[in-house]
């Protein structure tokens, strides 16, 4: 056997140091990977209380069995036989992974500085072609922060503030790339009927009437574009227009239009526009929705609401917000989720766990409050076949707590996404 020895005279000690640093950085990076692509061993999650938010209801001394990223069994621990070598995790309370029904996390970052603020493009009032997919940063520390409270799914994207600010996406709060995190893109197109979208001086839109006329005109243009695009003669089809293509998808009911509107007059304007063009409407914010529940109940088809954070700052257009709105909408039979929302001032986003807790403290029963950030949020986002409840066949997204999750003295002690433990600690 021939052994080749290095020429010691040509070894540079600094090369060893650089190699050590590279190895250190690589190991640190791997340690931060929240969702490894490797096959995961089966896992059993035990809870003294398991809120499944599904047909099984609430189980005392329950267990959730996970294999290959999916839930395979849910039930009383005494009734399920487990392999002796299965990995086991124990918590006081187990819930489905929480869903933030609307935020800007990943486009707006933890530092609230220009370099991590991609949530709002101000160059034009109508930009449905802007893809949240191209702006979402899965490695922003804010994503990891919300994950540590049990939030496993985000509906995030371009913020309210322009007439049509762009698209939204649905992502898991794990993964090193947007492709790894992605659940759906686009999820919705974000529009705003609010003074937030008004311009000063002679810029448009400068009033509510102008906002509605501009929206109506863009939708009419999209109707005409879609019709021309179907021309059998390729030479007579219009040149591709990303703006018109996206609005055509809205009109074709492929993608919902999410309209942020707080005042009752703006909410009813959104309903009127929906009735005129027939698109799928999701209301966002809706501070004064508790004042027009009869109108909302009469809407056909029903219009779901992603409600503002319970602790929203109550001034100007949000001055009639109420701590009891979630309760009022629930009692009216209106499908409602609570979102973290967006604020131009810090923190820009909130933690839906706390917002639902406040709603629970203002009359919303526990199960309804938990539903507003799990299964009902999943239904509004049309992802309830995958997540939102603990049922066999669904994604293994779980949140673990050391006590009632709506008590401020409780802590999230674990977060599981696609069967992988992505957070362990005491948040």
Q: What are 200-256's pLDDT values in tens digits?
A: 888 999 999 999 999 999 999 999 999 999 999 999 999 999 999 999 999 999 999
CA 219 – CA 170 distance, rounded (Å): 25
Q: For residue 194, what are the domain limits?
A: 98-385
- pLDDT truncated to tens, each residue of the chain (427 aa)? 333 334 444 444 444 444 433 433 333 343 344 444 444 789 999 999 999 999 999 999 999 999 999 999 999 999 999 988 899 999 999 999 999 999 999 999 988 888 888 999 999 999 999 999 999 999 999 999 999 999 999 999 999 999 999 999 999 999 999 999 999 999 999 999 999 999 988 899 999 999 999 999 999 999 999 999 999 999 999 999 999 999 999 999 999 999 999 999 999 999 999 999 999 999 999 999 999 999 999 999 999 999 999 999 999 999 999 999 999 999 999 999 999 998 877 767 899 999 999 999 999 999 999 999 999 999 999 999 999 999 999 999 999 999 999 999 999 999 999 999 999 988 7
Query: Looking at residue 13, what is its pLDDT?
Result: 46
- Could you tell me if 107 and 89 lie in one domain? no
Query: Looking at residue 200, what is its pLDDT?
Result: 87
Residues 6+ apart with CB under 8 A from 21: none
From the list 259, 257, 347, 267, the residue with the least C-alpha distance to 309 is 347
- Could you tell me if 394 and 269 lie in one domain? no
- Could you tell me if 51 and 165 lie in one domain? no
Query: Looking at residue 371, what is its pLDDT?
Result: 98
CA 144 – CA 149 distance, rounded (Å): 9
Predicted structure pTM score: 0.90
- Could you tell me if 78 and 132 lie in one domain? no
- Could you tell me if 145 and 264 lie in one domain? yes
Interaxial angle between packed helices 242-251 and 208-229, expressed in degrees from 0 to 180 and rounded to the nearest 10: 90
Query: Looking at residue 116, what is its pLDDT?
Result: 87
Query: Looking at residue 8, what is its pLDDT?
Result: 43
Q: What is the 3-state secondary structure (H, E, C) of the chain?
A: CCCCCCCHHHCCHHHHHHHHHHHHHHHHHHHHCCCCCCCCCCEEEEEEEEECCCCCCEEEEEEEEEECCEEEEEEEHHHCCCCCCCEEEEEEEEEECEEEEEECECCECCCCCHHHECCCCCCCCECCCCCHHHCCCCCCHHHHHHHCCCEEEEEEECCCCCCEEEEEEEEECCCCCHHHHEEECCCCEEEECCHHHCCCCCCCCCCHHHHHHHHHHHHHHHHHHHHHHCCCCHHHCCCCCHHHHHHHHHHCCCCCEEEEECCHHHHHHHHHHHHHHCCCEEEEECCCHHHCHHHHHHCCCCCCEEECCCCCCCCHHHCCCCCCHHHHHHHCCCCEEECCCCCCCCCCCCCHHHHHHHHHHCCCCHHHHHHCCCHHHHHHHCCCCCCCCCCCCCECCEEEECCCCCCCCCCEEEEEECCEEEEECCC
168 assigned to some structural domain: yes
- Could you tell me if 227 and 376 lie in one domain? yes
- Could you tell me if 213 and 248 lie in one domain? yes
CA 78 – CA 61 distance, rounded (Å): 8
With the C-alpha atoms ordered 117, 118, 120, 122, is the resulting torsion angle positive or negative?
Answer: positive
222 assigned to some structural domain: yes
18 assigned to some structural domain: no
303 assigned to some structural domain: yes
- Could you tell me if 376 and 411 lie in one domain? no
Q: Domains in the chain: how many in total?
A: 2
CA 392 – CA 75 distance, rounded (Å): 10
CA 282 – CA 211 distance, rounded (Å): 18
315 assigned to some structural domain: yes
Token pair listed for 290: 């508790």
User: Which residues share a beta bridge with 71?
Assistant: 66
- Could you tell me if 335 and 287 lie in one domain? yes
Query: Looking at residue 348, what is its pLDDT?
Result: 78
CA 38 – CA 19 distance, rounded (Å): 26
Token pair listed for 357: 């807790």
Torsion of CA 68, 70, 76, 77, to 10 degrees: 20
Cβ(69)–Cβ(420) under 8 Å? Answer: yes
69 assigned to some structural domain: yes
24 assigned to some structural domain: no
Token pair listed for 86: 């299965």
Q: What is the CATH number of the domain that holds 283?
A: 3.20.20.140
- Could you tell me if 357 and 394 lie in one domain? no
- Could you tell me if 82 and 102 lie in one domain? no
5 assigned to some structural domain: no
- Could you tell me if 221 and 370 lie in one domain? yes
Tell how far CA 359 is from the center of its chain: 19
Q: What is the CATH number of the domain that holds 73?
A: 2.30.40.10
With the C-alpha atoms ordered 253, 257, 262, 268, is the resulting torsion angle positive or negative?
Answer: negative
The strand pair at 412-417 and 398-401 is best described as antiparallel
Torsion-angle region of residue 157: left (phi > 0), alpha (psi -120 to 50) or beta? left
């Amino acid at each position: 056997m021939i052994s080749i020895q290095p020429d010691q005279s040509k070894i540079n000690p600094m090369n060893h140091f650089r190699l050590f640093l590279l190895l250190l950085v690589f190991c640190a990076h791997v340690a931060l990977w929240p969702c490894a692509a490797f096959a995961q061993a089966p896992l059993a999650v035990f809870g003294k209380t398991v809120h499944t938010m599904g047909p099984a209801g609430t189980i005392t001394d329950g267990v959730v069995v996970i294999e290959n990223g999916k839930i395979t069994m849910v039930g009383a621990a005494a009734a399920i036989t487990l392999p002796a070598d299965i990995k086991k995790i124990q918590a006081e309370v187990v819930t489905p992974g929480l869903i933030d029904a609307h935020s800007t996390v990943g486009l707006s970052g933890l530092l609230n500085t220009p370099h991590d603020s991609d949530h709002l493009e101000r160059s034009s009032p109508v930009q449905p072609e802007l893809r949240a997919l191209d702006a979402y940063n899965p490695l922003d520390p804010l994503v990891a922060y919300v994950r540590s409270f049990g939030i496993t799914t985000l509906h995030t994207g371009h913020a309210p503030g322009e007439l049509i600010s762009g698209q939204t996406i649905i992502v898991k709060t794990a993964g090193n790339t947007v492709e790894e995190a992605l659940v759906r893109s686009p999820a919705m197109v974000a529009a705003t009927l609010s003074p937030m979208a008004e311009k000063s001086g002679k810029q448009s839109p400068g009033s509510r009437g102008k906002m509605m006329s501009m929206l109506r005109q863009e939708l009419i243009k999209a109707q005409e574009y879609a019709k021309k695009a179907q021309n059998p003669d390729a030479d007579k089809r219009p040149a591709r227009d990303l703006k018109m293509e996206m609005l055509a998808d809205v009109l074709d009911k492929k993608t919902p239009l999410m309209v942020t509107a707080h005042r009752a007059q703006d909410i009813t304007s959104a309903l009127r526009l929906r009735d005129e063009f027939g698109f799928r409407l999701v209301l966002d914010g809706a501070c004064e929705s508790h004042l027009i529940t009869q109108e909302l109940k009469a809407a056909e088809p029903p219009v779901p609401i992603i409600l503002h954070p319970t602790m929203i700052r109550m001034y100007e257009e949000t001055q009639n917000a109420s701590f009891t709105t979630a309760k009022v909408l629930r009692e009216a039979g209106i499908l409602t989720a609570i979102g973290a929302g967006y604020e131009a001032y810090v923190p820009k986003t909130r933690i839906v766990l706390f917002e639902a807790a406040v709603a629970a403290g203002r009359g919303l029963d526990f199960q309804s409050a938990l539903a507003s950030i799990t299964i009902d949020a999943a239904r509004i986002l049309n992802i309830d076949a995958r997540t939102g409840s603990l049922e066999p066949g669904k994604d293994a997204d779980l949140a673990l707590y050391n006590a009632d999750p709506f008590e401020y003295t409780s802590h999230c002690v674990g977060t599981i996404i696609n069967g992988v433990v992505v957070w362990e600690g005491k948040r």
